[in-house]
Amino acid sequence: MISQGEYWRIGRSSYIVTLRLQALKRFYDNPGGGTLMTRADAILAAVQLIHEAPLTPEGWTRALPSIAGALRSEHGILLVQNASRTTEFAVGFEMASEQVAGFAAAADADSAIWQTVRALPVGSVAPTSALLPDREYARTIFYNEGVRPLGAFHGLAVSPLHTPHRFVHLSTGRRLGHEDYDAEDIAAMRTLVPHLVTALHVGNKLAAADLRAVGAEAALDRLEAGVILVDAAARILFANQTAEAILSRNDGLGIDRDGVCACSHGANRMLRRLIASCVDIPTVNGGPGGRVVIPRTEGRHPFRVVVAPFRAEAAQICITWLGLKPPVAILMVSDPEREQHVRKEELRRRFGLTPAEVDVAMEILKGDGRDAAAARLGIAATTVRAHLSHIFEKTGVRRQAELVRLLLRGAARAD
């Protein structure tokens, strides 16, 4: 079994994982009368599997049939491309291995329609008919080499994660001759999108730590993000070193007699509600888990907290080191101030910048010019220009735009 850390780095020789299941009922209206499964039930089932997916290498193969079912589709595929726009992982539903390979190869060819797909805003949902008229789409190489071998035509696409180093694409398809996706289908996909985004965010953060390894606790301690595992009552079962440092300051997040808490009453009520939703999924729209912003004292950036279900039984994780009570939720806490400090230290280490030069570089990254940077730093514009001259020399760039691109690439690498 491949580890979570290896999950995102499967070699090209073995990147294809196919799922061959018996045909799944995707159209819920029973010809004999009655309803086999409501759309809400199907979405609810998909949501739960989506949140479980990052915790095990087989998670997406289990989630994809449920996603396709919720969208009344005959096929589904999820693929991950790396920075060189080459597929490093793909999983298909109701697709033979050669069909998954053909779809991935068509995507890797970076055709005009695939460039349009990659240019879509993160999380936006688009039927293929909205990207290109059907007649033109039928003439594309992407359709003829990647979609047509499936016997499919209409597709519904979404890109829930797109960074300079990773592009995640998910689409479902319907067989040739079947009707196109309608507004209800698009709304169903949009309901799933925030859960896909959250699951991928959690999966990305956990990729550095194999929770099934003997050294799981040490691995989690190396993460820059705070990681907190809680039981159904929000009591803390485990917190990595970053989380302990955050909780000890009692600024925004802390601990009360009931467990982890936010110092703001409104944020605490939302945090507890998200944790409770991971115990049992009450509604489709409520979902399991989600995101909450935790305010801090005046002048400080708020924490960003992602709450997701922790399914130890699905992930086959040994939890003896967590305590007697099973965890029900995992909290990933991002501290913008800590992240900025890490980025500054990386700039100092990588380019040999002085603290003053680092401050100028970070202000230039905001994109509103040297005068605005000087005003925020409380220094003269001529001083900013002098620092920039030294920064250009040390980084090897010549213009502010090149510097911004360099810093953004470094930020993506740190993430």
CATH superfamily name and code, 4-206: Transcription factor LuxR-like, autoinducer-binding domain (3.30.450.80)
28-33 contacts at long range (C-beta below 8 A, 24 or more positions apart): 28/72
Q: What is the average per-residue pLDDT within 201-228?
A: 63
Nearest to 86 by CA among 167, 207, 17: 167
Res 335: pLDDT: 85
The CA angle 68-54-295, to the nearest 5 degrees, is 110
Paired residues of 9 in beta bridges: none
Taking the CA of residue 66 as centre, how many other CA atoms within 13 Å lie in the half-sphere pointing to its CB? Answer: 21
Taking only the tens place, the pLDDT of each residue in 296-338 is: 987 788 998 989 888 655 444 444 433 445 788 889 898 887 7
The kind and range of the H/E element at 185 are helix 183-206
**Average pLDDT rounded to a whole number, residues 156-184:** 90
CA distance 388 to 393: 8
Q: CATH fold of 339-414, please?
A: Arc Repressor Mutant, subunit A (1.10.10)
What is the model's pTM?
0.53
Residue owning tokens 């196109």: 180
pLDDT at 50 over 70: yes
What's the CATH class of domain 216-334?
alpha beta
Is there a shared CATH topology between the 4-206 domain and the 216-334 domain?
yes
- In single-letter form, the type of residue at position 356 comes to A
**Helix H segments across 258-399?**
265-277, 312-315, 336-351, 355-364, 370-377, 381-395
What is the residue extent of each domain of the chain? 4-206, 216-334, 339-414
**38 or 228, which is more confident?**
228
In eight-state DSSP terms, residue 320 is G
pLDDT tops 90 at residue 186 = yes
Q: What mean pLDDT is predicted for residues 284-305?
A: 81
Task: State the number of CA atoms in the 13 A half-sphere of 245 facing the CB.
Answer: 12
Which residues lie below 8 Å from residue 369, measured CB to CB, with a gap of 6+?
Answer: none
Show the tokens assigned to 248: 């000890």
- Give Cβ neighbours of residue 254 (< 8 Å, ≥ 6 apart): 247, 260, 261, 262, 263
